[in-house]
Amino acid sequence: MNSTPNFSLTGKVIVQSGGSGLLGRALVSGIAASGATLVVASRDAAKLEAQAAAERAAGRKVHAEPVDLGREDSIHALRDRVLAAHGRIDGLVFNAVSRPMKSMADDLSAWKSSMDTNATGFFAIVRALGDAMAKGGGGSIVNIASMQGMIGMNPWLYEGTTMTIPPDYFFHKGGMINLTRYLASHYGLQKVRVNVVSPGGIYNPERPQAPAFLERYGKMTMLGRMADAAEIGGAVVFLLSDASTYITGANLVVDGGYTAK
């Protein structure tokens, strides 16, 4: 028996929902570089195609596919296209997020709208692809939550800035963490592992956060800074890989020590 952990994703077919944002793009690059055949799916597949083409030009296997997480038939169609093209599904990374809600004072319609992707769509795609993996003999699901699903908001961080995090985000990410535990139990005997990665704050070089926020945030972490988006991918690749075959129902926190204080 080979006792060396296998961190490679070579030969695995992975579906990633949500890939156009800062973290999504970093995850695409990290998963593809680890050898997977990656199908990245979102409502606007054309927006993803440029990155997919760049990854293919670098010798990696990345394909863009459309999916509307608000429609179960669209999710099932994505599943069926992946199975038809690649023969199986070995993993799912749920990274999609919708943010129609901007503040506590928003109309209730914004809260309801956020549920379509962040709650109902999340459950629908995890169930559809989880069932497909179970039927195929196993797999790994990695949900991208946030440390904000574990803690409350710290208003001090945002004082004097226009930055804020609306309440639905805390609700969805907290729910995702605990639903992950339920799904791990549900799928465990079917050899489908389900875990969650909870990143801390990620620095955005394209739209840098307010200097006051960055200074305060750094003081809240043990490493003294926000994460780079690429630093989240290692945890995701690990949980997708055969190096983590006895890990399920876990919340892997990647926050520079923020919540450990």
Residues with catalytic annotation?
A: 169
Neighbours of 62 (CB within 10 A): 25
State the maximum Cα–Cα separation within the chain, in Å, rounded to a whole number: 59
Average model confidence (pLDDT) across the chain: 96
How is the chain split into domains, by residue range?
13-256
pLDDT digits (tens, 9 = 90+) for 25-63: 999 999 999 999 999 999 988 889 999 999 999 999 999
Tokens representing residue 175 in the block: 């729910």
Please, which residues bridge with residue 206 across strands? none
Residue 156 has a pLDDT of 95
**For 13-256, CATH number?**
3.40.50.720
pLDDT digits (tens, 9 = 90+) for 203-236: 999 999 999 999 999 999 999 999 999 999 999 9
User: How many whole angstroms separate alpha carbon 77 and alpha carbon 1?
Assistant: 39
For 39, the enclosing helix (H) or strand (E) is strand 37-42
Is 82 exposed, middle or buried (CB count within 10 Å of its CB: 0-12, 13-18, 19+)? buried
pLDDT digits (tens, 9 = 90+) for 90-132: 999 999 999 999 999 999 999 999 999 999 999 999 999 999 9
pTM: 0.96
Q: Is the pLDDT of residue 154 over 80?
A: yes
